[in-house]
Amino acid sequence: MNKTQLALLLMCGLSLQACSKTEHATTTAASQVQTEATPPSGIPLSEVGKMAIESNGKAALQQVLDQDSPNAYTVISVDHIKFINQDKNNKGLYNYTWNIRFKENASQNTLGCDDTDVIWDSDKNEVGAGIKNECMNVLEEAQNTPANNAQQSAAQGSPVRISLEPDVGQPNYFTNVNVQSTVDRLAVYGISVNRGNCQMLSDMKPNTHAVLSFGGVLKMGTRCRQSKIIEVTVATDQGNWTFNP
């Protein structure tokens, strides 16, 4: 084999190797393109936010209720979610309205409001819920309200007694409700003031209760003037008891 033939063979070999490498690189790149995640097309972010609120709105609202009044309320429903606009100052925030319903655990009354504000953060995919004062109104009273029975039972020997006092150092629309046990052991699950129209400010953790021994006192605050309080219901393991202080 002469030098010319050898050179031609070497050139062909290098050319085939380069073609093989190029083909392999092209195949790898195509594979990478196929496996990359792509966002859904044709769905506006405002609709994505609505779906996020439908999925996570109840949990977000329950968290807000538990922060203000742990174990006092249970979310029933969130619905009629309507997109309003995209925030002008923060393009990642989308504004909506919704209807919310939640139950006061002590009285079993249904509270809530319609067309109140809710926010979706598209950057974090988080729902921002809030509670306005008008959302604390009673929309439906429980059918088995214990008011009459409690008045009769109290005369026979109630396991609790209550007293009201100003919350010292706070504005005059804050009042403390003192619940005192008259039995050896009493579990208190919650307190309702004016059938849920006065917001409770509790230190009780969610899904827990306070246990009082004889003479023990549980102090719970409410956002209500003392002169405005006409009914207090205490939910216990020995029934619900209603008082008219």
Whether residue 176 sits in one domain with residue 124: no
Please give the Cα distance from 8 to 13 (Å, whole number). 9
Q: Are 79 and 152 contained in the same domain?
A: no
The amino acid at residue 146 is: P
- Collapsed DSSP state (helix, strand, coil) of residue 53: helix
Q: Are 181 and 159 in contact (CB under 8 A)?
A: yes
- What lies within 8 Å, CB to CB, of 151 at 6+ separation is 242, 244
Q: Tell me, yes or no, whether 209 and 237 share the same domain.
A: yes
Domain region containing 74: 45-140
- For the chain, the domain total comes to 2
For residues 136 and 152, membership in a common domain is answered with no
Lowest mean pLDDT across 21-35, 90-104, 121-135, 225-239 = 21-35
pLDDT tops 80 at residue 7: no
Q: Which of 108, 140, 172 is the last residue of a domain?
A: 140
pLDDT at 137: 83
Q: What are φ and ψ of residue 129, in 5° steps?
A: -100, 155
In a domain, 26, yes or no: no
Cβ atoms of residues 111 and 83 within 8 Å: no
Domain end, chosen from 92, 119, 140, is at 140
- pLDDT tens-place string over residues 190-215: 888 888 888 887 655 555 678 888 88
Per-residue model confidence as pLDDT tens digits over 81-138: 999 999 999 989 999 999 999 998 877 889 999 999 999 999 999 999 988 888 888 8
pTM above threshold 0.95: no
Report the chain's C-alpha Rg in angstroms: 32
Say whether both 58 and 121 belong to one domain.
yes
Q: Residues 216-243: what's their mean pLDDT?
A: 87
